[in-house]
Amino acid sequence: MSPRYVIGVVHAAHVAAGKRQGFVAFSYGKEAAVRNLDVGDKVIFYAPKTEFDGDPVQAFVGHATITGDAPRQMDYMTGLPAWVRDAEFDDVIEVPVRPLLEDLSFVPRPSHWGMAFRQGKFTIPEADYRLIANAMGLDT
């Protein structure tokens, strides 16, 4: 089965915690957000801000491949249990979103690009994945 390509919208601090501890989480740790991932799926993280009330980032900041067979619960950052999925992270270059907007098919109106990132997690076409991943320094 070929991998799915997913954008996860989370704060940069959450991506850093996930990379340190080897997991992905979305939508404030909701189980449904990680349940439908499969081993081998590729996740690119978009960070709107550094933290919830932090400074703007507006960049793709992380890349992970799902390695865990099933969701599991753990405490991270918030002190509340969150559902996560084990993942292996790659070292990547942070890529600002704005220069890529005209070329991303999941952004139908670049002048209103923020609407595309209102979801916590969404699937993208392989061509969009490759564009972003290559900009991040990955060889796809």
DSSP string, 15-40: HHHHHHHTEE--GGG-HHHHHT--TT
Fold that domain 5-135 belongs to in CATH:
ph1033 like fold (3.10.590)
CA dihedral over 63, 67, 72, 73, signed as positive or negative: negative
Is pLDDT of 134 > 90? yes
Share of the chain above pLDDT 90, in %: 82
Alpha-carbon span 61 to 106, nearest angstrom: 18
Give dist(CA 19, CA 99) in Å, integer: 25
Query: Hey, is 99 helix, strand or coil?
Result: helix
pLDDT value of position 73: 93
Mean model confidence pLDDT for the chain: 93
pLDDT of residue 78: 64
User: In percent, how much of the chain has pLDDT > 70?
Assistant: 97
Residue 49, pLDDT above cutoff 90: yes
CA distance 49 to 39: 28
> For 62-119, how does the pLDDT look when each residue is reduced to its tens digit (9 = 90+)?
999 999 999 999 886 667 788 999 999 999 999 999 999 999 999 999 999 999 999 8
> Which pTM does this prediction carry?
0.94
- Give me Rg for the CA atoms of the chain: 14
Tell me what pLDDT residue 30 has. Answer: 86
All structural domains of the chain with their residue ranges = 5-135
